[in-house]
Chains A and B, each alone.
Chain A
Amino acid sequence: MKNSIKYPLLGIILLIIQLLINEFINVYPLLYIAVSPLFLIVIDNKMDTMLLMLIAFAFGFLTDLFTGGVLGLSAGALTAAAFFRNSIMYLSVPQTTLESSGSLSCKNIGTEKFIIISLVCYAIFFAVYIALDSIGSYFCLYSIIRFLVDVIINTGIAVLIDTAILKNF
């Protein structure tokens, strides 16, 4: 499948999944399941950071708009994750591997490296998300627990989605 069709389609699918999760799944008050950072992780690894940030901003804005959340919350967190994605990718994966594989996935770079990249990207995403969400209230133990729970569980979900759904994409 051509990249020009593949990634927009992937984006729409992940956006729909995100909307469905927000609408129907409420596992635990501390847990926010976010699949949108996964879109940034698996998108074309040769994409320029500036374009990636603009896509992340638009994706986050649409997520906030359709889920009825506070406008700018996901957009800000996704933009931060996008800003650091390429740096994390170059630090974690050898150049030759990146050139041979078009995008990051468990199949292309190995599960271990995919987990590391996902973990860092999710950590950035949730650090910014929780910080923006906590403006006006104290950053306390609740925020730290929320951060840890969200990062670990969402990384696990990202690996699951990648191996179960995205490997066929």
Chain B
Amino acid sequence: MKTPGPVFNHILRFLLFIALEVLCVVMISHNGIIQHYTVSKEIRNVQSFFWEKGSDIRNFFNLPEINRRLASENLSLLRKNVRYGEIIDSINHAGRLVPGIKEDSGGNFVFTMARVIKNSLGSSHNFLIINKGSADGIEENMGVLTPCGVIGITRAVGRHNTFVYSFLNAKQTLSVQIGHSNLFGPLTWNQTDLHGVTLSDIQIHIPVNKGDTLFTSGYSSLYPAGIPIAIIENSSIKNGIKQEVGASLIEKMNAVNYVFVARNIRRKEIDSLGKAFDKKSNEK
């Protein structure tokens, strides 16, 4: 019979040594009171370390579910926010609560949660594709937003996917309100960086402070009023008569995962009024 080599013997010897020492430590931990507590504490520390790492790994794989849940919570908060905004507006303007704002609604808006499956950011005409389509009630020209930003407008609507014209487009303009003042202006993407936007046509005498928030004005039927969009960073005078305000978008456009498509339930009414006005103007 072939005898084992010296290296094998050394390994075997070492393993036996370790096994006997471990056995001794186990015996000591069972028989010595102080040693028992210390060894137990160390074992618990090691166990805790592995439990923590295991929990981290489980959490990592649960992230999509956690994101979805957070997006749902955001949707619920957005509904409340829009509803309360409209309640406050109705009280401020009419002195009473205007009937028709339901307790569980998003005011005049109905929101549909969608996940971004493609997000183009590299050109001056950017777009997104979301995983909801006509089967989910999505139509063309609906606003797409998050609780802290405007994302774009729905354009081509498929049965299960929709092409969204991103706010990061050279020709996209959005009406915004400076802080909670009654000052409004058009906001456009500055095309130089992903988060840079420009608010133009602001009168020179209007004070603009760094750190002020820009909100959606609500003048468009696409987006509810009062959604925070950007933070003012600087301002400069253009042509001696107007101010140009530089701001940074709050929503990180390159990290958008879940969005909400806003359907204005009074949009048809607003559009028909607009059309009637245009018709009368043309007749005159």
Contact = CB atoms under 8 A, between A and B. Distances in A.
Contact of A72 (B16, B17, B27, B38): B27
A70 interface: yes
A136 B37 contact: yes
Interface string A27-64: 00000000000000000000001100110010010000
Given A50-B13, A71-B30, A136 B20 contact: no
Interface string A115-153: 000000000000000001001110000000000000000
Nearest to B32: A70
Main SS of the interface on chain B? helix
A64 to B, nearest CB: 8
A155 interface: no
B34 interface: yes
B239 to A, nearest CB: 77
Contacts of A60: 24
Contact of B34 (A50, A76, A136): A136
Contacts of B123: none
A137 B26 CA distance: 17
Interface string B186-198: 0000000000000
B156 interface: no
B28 interface: yes
B20 A71 contact: no
Contact of B35 (A49, A53, A136): A136
A132 B28 contact: yes
A52 B22 CA distance: 17
B24 A75 contact: yes
A71 to B, nearest CB: 4
B25 interface: yes
How many interface residues does chain B have, given as a range? 20 to 34
B34 A72 contact: no
A132 B24 contact: yes
B28 A135 contact: yes
B21 interface: yes
Interface in B17-59: 17, 20-21, 23-28, 30-32, 34-35, 37-39
B77 interface: no
Given A72-B23, A80-B21, A135-B34, A50 B12 contact: yes
A105 interface: no
A54 B24 CA distance: 12
Interface residues of A, number: 19
Which of B20, B23, B38 has the most A CB atoms < 10 Å from its CB?
B20
Contacts, number: 65
Nearest to A61: B27
Nearest to A132: B28
A72 B12 contact: no
A76 to B, nearest CB: 3
B16 A53 contact: yes
A79 interface: yes
Given A50-B13, A57-B20, A76 B25 contact: yes
A79 B24 contact: yes
A72 B27 CA distance: 5
A97 B267 CA distance: 107
Contacts of A70: 28, 31-32, 35
Which of B16, B21, B23, B31 has the most A CB atoms < 10 Å from its CB?
B21
Nearest to A82: B17
A136 B37 CA distance: 7
B37 A72 contact: no
Contacts of A54: 16, 20
Contacts of B38: 135-136
A137 B37 CA distance: 11
Contacts of B25: 72, 76, 132
19 contacts: A50-B13, A57-B23, A57-B24, A60-B24, A70-B35, A72-B25, A72-B27, A72-B28, A73-B28, A75-B23, A75-B27, A76-B21, A79-B17, A80-B21, A135-B28, A135-B32, A135-B34, A136-B34, A137-B34
Given A57-B20, A71-B30, A135-B28, 10 more contacts: A49-B13, A60-B24, A71-B28, A71-B31, A72-B25, A75-B20, A79-B24, A132-B25, A132-B35, A135-B32
